[in-house]
Chains A and B, each alone.
Chain A
Amino acid sequence: MIRSLADISKLAREKGPKKIAVLAPEDEEFMLAVKKSWELGYIEPVLIGNIKKIEAAAEKVAFNIGPFQKISGDEHQGISDLGIRMLFSGEAPIAGKGQIPTSYIYRSIIREEAKAGSGMTVSVVTFWEVPGIDHLVAFTDTGVNIKPDLKAKGEIIKNAVFVYHLLGYPRPKIAVLSGQREVGGKLASYEDYEALQKAADAGDFGACEIAAATSFTDIFLGDRDRRVDYGNINSEEMPHILLVPSLDTGNIICKLDFFLDVNRSSLVATSRGPVCIPARSDFNDNIVQQIAMSVVLADRMGKEVQ
């Protein structure tokens, strides 16, 4: 069972290098992350984008990209389509985002999933490594679905459960998050929780369970004294997967690593392999970590497919 990002780094070294189609690494920070990941033995990059910009970024970080395959592309959608097609055609087991808006990549993935007839909903899983919690915690969907309906939430859960099974968690616990509290009537997000819990009990999402908790107060305080005590914050009941009600909620909370003592790592698990999707504002060490996560997932997905 993979419990930490250190486990991921160790495994990425063992299982790499894996070929990764890197989309528009035209920024120093991304290029530095590619360089470090290659030096660590995680990846063998295929660099796609504006060659001049790629070369300039590589030069700035003293990275000799001579030995690597480079594919020229000039506009965002074209670059994204090229890289994601490599993933779906099996030419590369991983695709990774550079300095390109994520929406182009989601569009490419959605098209390729449709072509492949996988029926898979595209969603983003964002892991947090939190001090004091003995497993990775994942928020989902933090990137694609703006306001998922009940059906879409079911698909998002399935995707995240699939990822956790790959990470070695046989029966991940899920919290369906909601802003439900003692005022304002029943929220749509809470109604979805009730419906999803029934669906999970009926086995609709495979081996997993939905916790009787929809808020962090429920998760951390449970049925105990309903009053926070900073000297005694108990995270023993922390679920593995936290389903967020909307893109606004997911994105705003999952990127609190800019503020809190947590490490973040995001990916999209497509039907053909992981897509590493760091935020455009992420720094190189964080991007390296996210690449490592994709390498490990790619390795395990490869075995699963076999």
Chain B
Amino acid sequence: MLSSFKEILAAAKQSGVKKLVVPCPVAADLPLLAEAAAAGLVIPILIGAGSSLELLVNGSPLAAGKCEIVDENDPGKVLGRALALVRDGEADILMQGGASPQELLDALRDKEQGLLPKGGVISFVSIFQLLKREKLILVTDTFINNNPPLVEKQKILENALQLARMLGIEAPKVAVLAAIEQVNPGIPSTLDAAILSKMGERRQFGKAIVEGPLDIDCALSQVAAGRKGLQSVVTGNVDIYLVPEIDTGHLLAEALVFFGKMQTVGIVMGTSKPVILNLPFISDENRRVEIALACLACLKGGING
């Protein structure tokens, strides 16, 4: 089981070199790509106006020869070419580069040209490294879906379970979060949580223990849960926290970073190939881990199939 970012980096180095395509790379991407290339993780493929890219590369730590440049002078076609390379198997990983997150997301969801398998849901999983013990926890969805209905929450959970299993968590323990731990018809998140929990009980998520609704104190502390009369193997030892909607998910992830100073990385799930976003609450150092994680996801049985 991988229980730290260091272990993700180490495991990725054994996974073989992957081709990582970046549409319209920005200057800040280059030192990161240079480092990932030097570590033997990736060969960057940069797409954009060739002359500008050469200038960008020449003035950066990414030495020519350590990357490929695909000349595309039409800015409107750059993202499409990047997607085509990944879709056709000529590249393994897609990085956001200079595309806006919405533009990228729309392209990923495109029925003809995108990377979203039929019936799938694209979601974002934040992985946090615990401060006091060696363990990784997953929080989802922290970036993509605003107010997912139950059917989408099911997919979002399945995406996170796939990632947890790739990290070696054989039977992930899931807390479906809500404001309270009781099922209250007036609080919709508790109803969705109860249904997902029942689905888990019926083994609809495979080998996993899904508990919900759980409030955060019960999820975080077995003693606190006990005082509320709740006994579960999930409490105090959660692997995946499924949040009710984006206000909670995004703010929770940020709170853990800024108040808790917890290290975090993230990955897009649900796509047929790994996709790396560029979010401000992920540090430069941890963006390296995101590349490593994407490399692991390329492996057979990895997160993206």
**Chain A residues proximal to chain B, CB less than 8 Å:** 27, 29, 101, 130, 146, 177-179, 181-185, 187, 189, 215-217, 219-221, 226-230, 233, 235, 244-253, 255-256, 258-262, 279-281
Q: Which of A183, A229, A260, A281 contacts B283 (CB 8 A)?
A: A229
Q: Give the nearest-CB partner of A251 in chain B.
A: B179
- In the bound assembly, the distance between CA atoms of A189 and B102 in angstroms comes to 19
Q: Among B180, B224, B243, B254, which residue has its beta carbon within 8 angstroms of that of A216?
A: B254
Please tell me if B249 contacts chain A, counting CB pairs below 8 Å: yes
Contact at A227–B284, with CB atoms within 8 Å? yes
Q: CB-CB < 8 A to B263: which residues of A?
A: 230
**Contacts A258-B217, A281-B224 hold; do A179 and B247 have CB atoms under 8 A apart?**
yes
Question: Beyond A182-B101, A227-B280, A258-B216: 4 further Cβ-contacts under 8 Å?
Answer: A146-B187, A181-B246, A183-B144, A259-B256
- Whether the Cβ atoms of A179 and B249 lie closer than 8 Å is yes
Complex CA distance for A139 and B60, rounded to whole angstroms? 44
Bound-state CA distance A230–B5 (Å) is 15
Is the beta-carbon distance between B257 and A249 smaller than 8 angstroms?
no
Q: Which residues of chain B have C-beta atoms less than 8 A from A281's C-beta?
A: 217-218, 221, 223-225, 227-228
Partner of B261, one of A179, A217, A219, A233: A233
Instruction: Give residues in B with beta carbon < 8 Å to A.
Output: 100-102, 105, 143-146, 177-180, 182, 186-187, 189, 215-218, 220-221, 223-225, 227-228, 243-252, 254-261, 263, 280-284
A37 and B228 CA atoms in complex are apart in Å by: 23
Q: Do A253 and B251 touch (CB < 8 A)?
A: yes
9 nearest A-B residue pairs (beta carbon): A281-B224, A216-B254, A179-B247, A179-B250, A179-B246, A251-B179, A258-B220, A226-B280, A249-B248
A147 to B228 CA separation, bound complex (whole angstroms): 24
Is the pair B281, A228 in contact by a Cβ cutoff of 8 Å? yes
Interface contact A227-B251, CB-CB below 8 Å: no
Q: List 16 A-B contacts (CB under 8 A).
A: A29-B227, A179-B248, A179-B250, A179-B251, A183-B101, A184-B144, A217-B280, A220-B258, A229-B283, A246-B247, A252-B178, A255-B216, A256-B255, A259-B256, A281-B225, A281-B227
Please tell me if the beta carbons of A215 and B254 are within 8 angstroms of each other in the complex: yes
- B257 neighbours in A (Cβ, 8 Å): 216, 228
In angstroms, Cα B135 to Cα A215, docked, is 27
User: Given A146-B186, A217-B254, does the pair A252, B283 have CB atoms closer than 8 Å?
Assistant: no
- Please, how many angstroms separate the alpha-carbon atoms of A219 and B100 in the complex? 22
With A248-B179, A249-B248, A251-B180 as contacts: A280 and B227 at CB distance below 8 Å: yes
Given contacts A215-B254, A217-B280, A260-B260, contact A184 B246 (CB under 8 A): yes
The reply to whether B282 and A228 form a contact with Cβ atoms under 8 Å apart is yes
Are B245 and A179 in touch, CB under 8 angstroms? yes
Contacts of B227 in A (CB 8 A): 27, 29, 280-281
Which B residues are CB-close (under 8 A) to A27?
Answer: 227
Q: Are A262 and B259 in contact (CB under 8 A)?
A: yes
Measured in the bound complex, the distance between the Cα atoms of B279 and A182 in whole Å is: 10
- Complex contacts, B187 vs chain A, CB 8 Å: 146, 247-248
Q: Which of A187, A227, A279, A280 contacts B146 (CB 8 A)?
A: A187
Complex Cα spacing A244 to B247, Å = 9
Q: Which residues of A contact B247 (CB under 8 A)?
A: 177-179, 187, 189, 244-246, 248-249
Which residues of the partner chain A approach B255 to less than 8 Å between Cβ atoms?
216, 253, 256, 260
Query: Given contacts A146-B187, A179-B250, A184-B144, is CB(A247)–CB(B281) below 8 Å?
Result: no
Q: A183-B144, A228-B280, A228-B281 are in contact. Are A252 and B248 (CB under 8 A)?
A: yes
